[in-house]
Amino acid sequence: MGGRIQVIVEEHERQRFRAAAQRASMSLSSWLKKCAFLALEESETAAPCDIGGLRQFFDQCDAQEEGSEPDWSEQKHIIATSSSSGTTNT
């Protein structure tokens, strides 16, 4: 027999999990393990991030816009002014 893992969930979550396990004709433990293995498999087979594609996307976005964004210190000032006055400068 393997080790145990304790997972604390809200009562309504436990009820939903148990109902799903019953619909699948599985014990709650078996159903939770199956879900965990499916999530693990999905995360291990997910395609890596396409950095080149992201750069191309952001380049296309930049080409569609005119002007430039303010630097971060100016952005923070705009946010602070907007928060205190209830208006925006954008």
pLDDT of residue 48: 78
What share of the chain in percent tops pLDDT 70?
Answer: 94
pLDDT per residue as tens digits for the range 15-44: 999 999 999 999 999 999 999 999 999 888
Scanning the structure block, which residue is given the tokens 């619909």?
23
Q: Which residues have CB under 8 Å from 9's CB, separation 6+?
A: 17
Is the full-model pTM beyond 0.75?
Answer: no
